[in-house]
């Protein structure tokens, strides 16, 4: 093997610019987010200079972002009075693709042990965002002057095809002004309303005032970053209406902040009005994902499990690794973790609400219970199933009609001898109470939960256990549990000897006749049972797997 030589990769700048500008971002409109984020970073860095007592040129200039549209010229201009750039910085930061002056700034701070506080607010890190302006502009002019007193103003200009020019410029104030000359196809970004919508979508919560053609447009604060105690009900309502694009009020509000196991700043709202049942299946997710107050994904469908799609809100996490274009979430394990943490917190919150205001909760359960049922059926985690199960409410044989009981309440009332949890699915309370399946349980003084919709039936079937106790359909009590018992006790009780009962011979005749009439396809066995001698029902149908059977019947009926 000969001596090896080291080579640097060569980059075809024109190509690279093309990749960044044309293929990195899926939505053209995000260039506005990128340029505003840079302005915000520049203001953030200037604030740091103030804080550390540095001399700042033109220190009376406000820390604001000004955006101007000019439809006639077809331009969009974004101006800040932030830190600005010297000639060298211009060369470095805007002349090197994938070099981030912001990242370098943060690295410097963390070297001197000051990183943490600022780090939370600086948005840039990849050094490509600026070039997204070339998706929509065929020329970009940057006017800039550094904050350090005595600095000169410069103008940088490029058509994004591989080269740029820098010249000294007169009358440039501290900070940076980016003028984008829009391509023919993207002149709509010089229309005020288009720009306003885009800013509100992505950059509404940026930490500095944003003025569009002279009017401040980001008047709503990023509430999720504040201390929960500092937020009034009215502020929550306004914020909820803003993010939910709605006019109702939140019925529940959960403001959740934590630093472990992940950094999370979040607010969740449960709306007063929910979509009609038939649209529930196709309901969009209501939570948006932010990172450092900049929108990453609206209607983010991975941040909460599907069954929680009725929850609206905002989740901001610095720990979610973003890719270059910010739009894709890279680490799915981390997103899953985020989703687990958040859903556990929301479920716990709802459990607390059940205790806190029962009347309100029952109304909520009536409106949203179907989502919990979906949660139990769809979630893989047994632990989570158990937690969601605590949110369910049922009528019970122990209580009057209209009174609802939860599973924990049911189990607390179980006698030591009772092994299983029983429920009976029927069209109404009346039918349930006169059901032969119920009669047996009633006789043995075993509490039964009454459910009146088929969803409950499937849900409990999926849940299968609660607090370690099996959940059984009442039908099973008769066919399985009683059978076991009967071996010990029922046999001993003398069959009713009254005159209207059948003789053994008559009974055999009846059984034979019924077996023939019904046939093997309908029943597997007809037999005389002594169990019924204790109830008021002459005949009963039992099925090994009642839930499956009922479903099968339903499917057949639908066909």
Residues 75-114: x where in contact with Mg ion by CB under 5 A, - otherwise, as a string = ----------------------------------------
Measured from the CB of residue 141, what is the shortest distance to ligand ADP in angstroms?
13
Decide: is 141 part of the binding site for ligand ADP (CB under 6 A): no
Q: How far apart are CA 21 and CA 37, in angstroms?
A: 17
Residues 23-42: x where in contact with Mg ion by CB under 5 A, - otherwise, as a string = --------------xx----
Nearer to ligand ADP, 255 or 292 (CB): 292
Measured from the CB of residue 164, what is the shortest distance to ligand ADP in angstroms?
13
Nearest to 226 by CA among 293, 136, 305, 295: 293
Nearer to Mg ion, 37 or 379 (CB): 37
> What angle (nearest 5°) sits at the alpha carbon of residue 362, between those of residues 360 and 367?
100
Nearest to 201 by CA among 39, 317, 33, 40: 33
In which order are the strands placed within the sheet that holds 153-158? 164-169, 153-158, 137-145, 175-182, 75-80, 65-70, 210-212, 215-216
Neighbours of 396 (CB within 10 A): 19
Measured from the CB of residue 129, what is the shortest distance to Mg ion in angstroms?
3
Decide: is 203 part of the binding site for ligand ADP (CB under 6 A): no
Nearest to 543 by CA among 517, 522, 516: 522
Minimal CB distance to Mg ion: which residue?
129
CA distance to 84, 515, 529, per residue, from 48 (Å): 13, 90, 86
Contact window for Mg ion (CB under 5 A) among 128-136, 241-249, 313-321, 380-388: 128-136
CA–chain centroid gap for 303, Å, is 4
**Pairing between strand 215-216 and 65-70?**
unpaired
- Judge whether 140 and 165 are in contact, CB under 8 Å: no
Measured from the CB of residue 34, what is the shortest distance to Mg ion in angstroms?
5
**Pairing between strand 153-158 and 137-145?**
antiparallel
Measured from the CB of residue 265, what is the shortest distance to ligand ADP in angstroms?
21
Decide: is 207 part of the binding site for ligand ADP (CB under 6 A): no
Decide: is 129 part of the binding site for Mg ion (CB under 5 A): yes
Tokens 């042990």 locate to 113
Residues numbered 420 to 449 that lie near ligand ADP (CB under 6 A) are none
Decide: is 176 part of the binding site for ligand ADP (CB under 6 A): yes
Residue 297: contacted member of ligand ADP, Mg ion, none (CB under 5 to 8 Å, by partner type): none
Nearer to Mg ion, 38 or 291 (CB): 38
Using DSSP's 3-state secondary structure scheme, residue 171 falls into coil
> What angle (nearest 5°) sits at the alpha carbon of residue 218, between those of residues 228 and 317?
50
Nearer to Mg ion, 103 or 249 (CB): 103
- Paired with 252 in beta bridges are 270
- Judge whether 476 and 486 are in contact, CB under 8 Å: no
Measured from the CB of residue 178, what is the shortest distance to Mg ion in angstroms?
11
Please, what's the b/e burial string for 259-281 (b: 16 or more CB within 10 A of its CB; e: otherwise)? eeebebbbbbbbbeebeeeeeee
Q: How far apart are CA 237 and CA 1, in angstroms?
A: 72
Residues in contact with ligand ADP, counted by CB under 6 A, come to a total of 23
Residue 74: contacted member of Mg ion, ligand ADP, none (CB under 5 to 8 Å, by partner type): none
Contact window for ligand ADP (CB under 6 A) among 126-134, 269-277, 314-322, 337-345: 126-134
Contact window for ligand ADP (CB under 6 A) among 101-109, 209-217, 405-413, 524-532: 101-109
Locate 58 and state its tokens. Answer: 């033109």
Residues in contact with Mg ion, counted by CB under 5 A, come to a total of 4
- Among the listed residues 31, 44, 101, 156, the single contact to ligand ADP using CB under 6 A: 101
Measured from the CB of residue 132, what is the shortest distance to Mg ion in angstroms?
9
- Among the listed residues 83, 135, 322, 389, the single contact to ligand ADP using CB under 6 A: 83
Residue 459: contacted member of ligand ADP, Mg ion, none (CB under 5 to 8 Å, by partner type): none
Angle between helix 358-378 and helix 382-389 axes, rounded to 10 deg: 150
- Among the listed residues 34, 141, 387, 439, the single contact to ligand ADP using CB under 6 A: 34
- Among the listed residues 74, 124, 153, 436, the single contact to Mg ion using CB under 5 A: 124
Contact window for Mg ion (CB under 5 A) among 129-137, 205-213, 228-236, 282-290: 129-137
Nearer to ligand ADP, 202 or 256 (CB): 202
Locate 53 and state its tokens. Answer: 């007592």
- Judge whether 139 and 181 are in contact, CB under 8 Å: yes
Nearest to 438 by CA among 478, 401, 471, 490: 478
Contact window for Mg ion (CB under 5 A) among 67-75, 87-95, 122-130, 225-233: 122-130
CA distance to 135, 183, 192, 199, 282, per residue, from 74 (Å): 15, 8, 11, 18, 40
| Footprint on this chain of ligand ADP (rule: CB under 6 A) | 34, 38-39, 42, 80, 82-85, 93-94, 100-103, 124-130, 176
| Footprint on this chain of Mg ion (rule: CB under 5 A) | 37-38, 124, 129
């Amino acid at each position: 093997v000969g001596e090896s030589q080291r080579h640097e990769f060569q980059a075809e700048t024109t190509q690279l610019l093309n990749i960044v500008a044309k293929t990195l971002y899926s939505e053209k409109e995000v260039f506005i987010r990128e340029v505003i984020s840079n302005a915000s970073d520049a203001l953030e860095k200037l604030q740091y200079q103030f804080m550390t007592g540095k001399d700042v040129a033109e220190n009376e200039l406000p820390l604001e972002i000004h955006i101007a549209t000019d439809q006639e010229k077809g331009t969009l201009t974004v101006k800040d009075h932030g830190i600005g750039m010297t000639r060298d910085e211009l060369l470095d930061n805007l002349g090197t693709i994938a070099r981030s002056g912001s990242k370098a700034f943060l690295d410097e701070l963390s070297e001197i042990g000051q990183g943490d506080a600022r780090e939370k607010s600086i948005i840039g890190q990849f050094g490509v965002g600026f070039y997204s302006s070339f998706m929509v502009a065929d020329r970009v002019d940057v006017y800039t002057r550094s904050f350090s007193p005595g600095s000169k103003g410069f103008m940088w200009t490029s058509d994004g095809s591989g080269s740029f020019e820098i010249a000294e410029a007169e009358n440039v104030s501290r900070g940076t002004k980016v003028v984008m000359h829009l391509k023919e196809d993207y002149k709509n970004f010089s229309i005020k309303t288009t720009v306003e919508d885009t800013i509100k979508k992505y950059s509404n919560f940026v930490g500095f005032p944003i003025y569009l053609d002279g009017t401040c447009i980001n008047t709503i604060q990023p509430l999720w970053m504040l201390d929960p105690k500092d937020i009034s009900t009215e502020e929550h309502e306004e914020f909820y209406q803003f993010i939910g694009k709605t006019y109702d009020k939140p019925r529940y509000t959960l403001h959740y902040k934590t630093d472990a196991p992940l950094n999370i700043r979040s607010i969740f709202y449960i709306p007063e009005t929910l979509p009609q049942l038939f649209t529930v299946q196709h309901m969009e997710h209501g939570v948006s994902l932010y990172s450092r107050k900049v929108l990453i994904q609206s209607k983010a469908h991975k941040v909460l499990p599907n069954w929680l799609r009725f929850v609206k809100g905002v989740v901001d996490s610095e720990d979610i690794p973003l890719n270059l274009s910010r739009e894709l979430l890279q680490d799915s394990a981390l997103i899953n973790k985020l989703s687990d943490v958040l859903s556990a917190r929301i479920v716990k919150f709802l459990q607390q609400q059940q205790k806190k205001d029962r009347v309100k909760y029952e109304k909520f359960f009536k409106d949203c219970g179907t989502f919990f049922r979906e949660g139990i059926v769809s979630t893989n985690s047994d632990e989570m199933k158990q937690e969601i199960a605590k949110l369910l409410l049922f009528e019970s044989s122990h209580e009057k009609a209209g009174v609802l009981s939860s599973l924990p309440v049911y189990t607390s009332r179980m006698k030591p001898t009772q092994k299983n949890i029983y429920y009976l699915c029927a069209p109404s309370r009346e039918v349930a109470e006169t059901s032969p399946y119920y009669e047996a349980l009633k006789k043995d003084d075993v509490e039964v939960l009454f459910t009146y919709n088929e969803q409950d039936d499937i849900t409990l079937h999926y849940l299968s256990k609660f607090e370690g106790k099996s959940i059984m359909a009442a039908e099973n009590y008769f066919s399985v549990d009683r059978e076991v018992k009967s071996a010990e006790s029922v046999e001993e009780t003398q069959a009713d000897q009254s005159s209207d009962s059948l003789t053994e011979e008559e009974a055999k005749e009846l059984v034979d006749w019924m077996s023939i009439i019904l046939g093997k396809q309908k029943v597997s066995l007809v037999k005389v049972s002594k169990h019924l001698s204790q109830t008021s029902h002459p005949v009963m149908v039992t099925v090994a797997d009642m839930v499956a059977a009922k479903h099968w019947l339903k499917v057949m009926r639908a066909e």
